[in-house]
Amino acid sequence: MQALYAQLLVGLINGSFYALLSLGLAVIFGMLNIINFAHGALYMMGAFVAYFLLNLGGINYWWALLLAPIIVGIFGMILERTMLQWLTGLDHLYGLLLTFGIALIVQGVFQNYFGSSGLPYAIPDQLRGGMNLGFMFLPVYRGWVVVFSLAVCLATWFLIEKTQLGAYLRAATENPTLVRAFGINVPRMITLTYGLGVGLAALAGVLSAPINQVRPLMGADLIIVVFAVVVIGGMGSIMGSIITGFALGVIEGLTKYFYPEASNTVVFVLMVLVLLVKPTGLTGRAA
C-alpha cells in the first residue's frame, strides 16, 4: 500500500504540472487563438531561471517562485509583441508553427550550453524532510507542490471567472472588436494574457526544479502529454482544465502502480478513448 500511495502522490504532482500548463494553454488559446507550442520550453526556462537566480545571484527558492514567472513572463510578452501579434487573422496552423520554431530555438540554445543532463536544484530548507501520516510517509516538498499548485490554479480561476479584469478578458475572447469599442486596450490585454499563461508555465518549472532536476529538454516531452490533456479536457473551461489535469495525473500514477509498462502511454490511450466516445472532449464545445 505504501507504494500505491507514493505513486498516487507522484501522480498528483504530475497532475499539478499538467493543470498549470494546460490552464496556461487554455488562457492563451482563448485570447490569442494560438496553441502555444513553446509552452514546454518556457516551463523549462522557469526552472533554469530559478537555477541561475540561486547559483549566480544567491537568490533563494521563495524569491525564485515570484521572480522566475515574472522574468519568463516578460520574455513571453516580448515574444508576443515582436512576433505573435503579426499572426492575427492568419490560419491557426501558423501560430503552432511559429511557437514550435521558438521552442526549438530556446531548447537548442540551452542544450548547447548545458547538454542534456540534469542540473541539481536543492529543496529549500523549510520544506525538507517529511512527515508520517500514519498510512504513508509524505515528503514535505511534494505535499507543498500539490497544495501550492492547486492554490495557484484556483486563484487563476477566480481571477478569470470572478473579477472585473476577468470579465473584460472573457468579453474580449468572445468579441474583441466590441470590447475595444468600449475603450479597453485589447492588444495590451492580449500581451498581458500571454504573459500570464507563460508565467504559469514558468511557475510550474520552478516547482518541478527540485523534483525533476533542471534539464534543457524537461519540457519537450511534457508538452506533448499536456496537448493530450488539452484534447481530453477541451479548452472551453478553466475549471475543466484544472480538474482534467489533476485527474489525468492521478490516473497516470495509478497506472505506474498497477501496470508500469503503460505509464508513458496511458494519457494518450485515454485521449483516443475520449475521442471515440465524445469527440468534442469532456468539457469542450464543438471546435
Partner 1 sequence: MTTLTDDTLPATPRAMRDEMIVFVVMALLLASVPFTGVYPFFVMQALCFALLACAFNLLVGYGGLLSFGHAMFLGTAGYCSAHALKVWALPPELGILVGVAAAFVLSIVTGYISIRRQGIYFSMITLALSQLLYFIYLQAPFTHGEDGIQGIPQGRMFGVLDLSKPTVLYYVVLVGFLAGFLLIVRIINSPFGEVLKSIRENEQRAISLGYRTDQYKFLAFVLSGTLAGFAGALKVFVAQNASLTDVHWTMSGEVVLMTLVGGLGTIFGPVVGAFVIIAMQQYLAGFGQWVTVIQGAIFVVCVLTFRRGVIGEIAHYFRRSL
Restricted to residues 267-286, the positions that interact with partner 1 (CB under 8 A) are 268-269, 271-272, 275-276, 279-280
Of 125 and 261, the one with the shorter C-beta distance to partner 1 is 261
- Residue 105 interacts with partner 1 (CB under 8 A): yes or no: yes
Task: Decide: 232 and 130 in contact? Cβ < 8 Å.
Answer: no
Measure the CA–CA gap between 121 and 150, rounded to whole angstroms: 22
Residue with grid cell 537566480, as numbered in its chain: 53
Among 29, 48, 61, 246, binds partner 1 (CB under 8 A): 29
Of 147 and 269, the one with the shorter C-beta distance to partner 1 is 269
Listed as own residue / partner, the contacts of 65-68 with beta carbons closer than 8 Å and 24 or more positions apart are 65/203, 65/206, 65/207, 68/202, 68/203, 68/205, 68/206
As measured in angstroms, the least distance from the Cβ of 178 to partner 1 is 21
- Residue 83 interacts with partner 1 (CB under 8 A): yes or no: yes
- Residue 107 interacts with partner 1 (CB under 8 A): yes or no: yes
Measure the CA–CA gap between 161 and 139, rounded to whole angstroms: 33
Of 204 and 235, the one with the shorter C-beta distance to partner 1 is 235
Residue of 89, 64, 23 lying closest to 210 (CA atoms): 64
- Count of residues engaged in binding partner 1, rule: CB under 8 A: 45
Measure the CA–CA gap between 95 and 110, rounded to whole angstroms: 23
- Residue 102 interacts with partner 1 (CB under 8 A): yes or no: yes
Measure the CA–CA gap between 50 and 86, rounded to whole angstroms: 31
- Residue 74 interacts with partner 1 (CB under 8 A): yes or no: no
The kind and range of the H/E element at 132 are strand 130-132
CB count within 10 Å of CB 137 equals: 13
In degrees and rounded to multiples of 5, residue 139 shows phi and psi of: -65, 130
- Residue 227 interacts with partner 1 (CB under 8 A): yes or no: yes
Measure the CA–CA gap between 244 and 22, rounded to whole angstroms: 9
Task: Decide: 79 and 190 in contact? Cβ < 8 Å.
Answer: no
- Residue 90 interacts with partner 1 (CB under 8 A): yes or no: yes
Of 223 and 238, the one with the shorter C-beta distance to partner 1 is 223
Q: Which residues contact 130 (CB under 8 A, 6 or more apart)?
A: 137, 138, 139, 140
- Residue 77 interacts with partner 1 (CB under 8 A): yes or no: no
Among 20, 28, 65, 98, binds partner 1 (CB under 8 A): 98
- Residue 224 interacts with partner 1 (CB under 8 A): yes or no: yes
As measured in angstroms, the least distance from the Cβ of 115 to partner 1 is 9
Among 87, 136, 171, 184, binds partner 1 (CB under 8 A): 87
115: left (phi over 0), alpha (psi -120 to 50) or beta: left
Among 111, 212, 213, 283, binds partner 1 (CB under 8 A): 111
- Residue 261 interacts with partner 1 (CB under 8 A): yes or no: yes
As measured in angstroms, the least distance from the Cβ of 16 to partner 1 is 20
- Residue 78 interacts with partner 1 (CB under 8 A): yes or no: no
Which positions lie near partner 1, rule CB under 8 A? 29, 35, 83, 86-87, 89-94, 96-98, 100-109, 111-112, 221, 224-225, 227-228, 230-231, 261, 264-265, 268-269, 271-272, 275-276, 279-280, 287
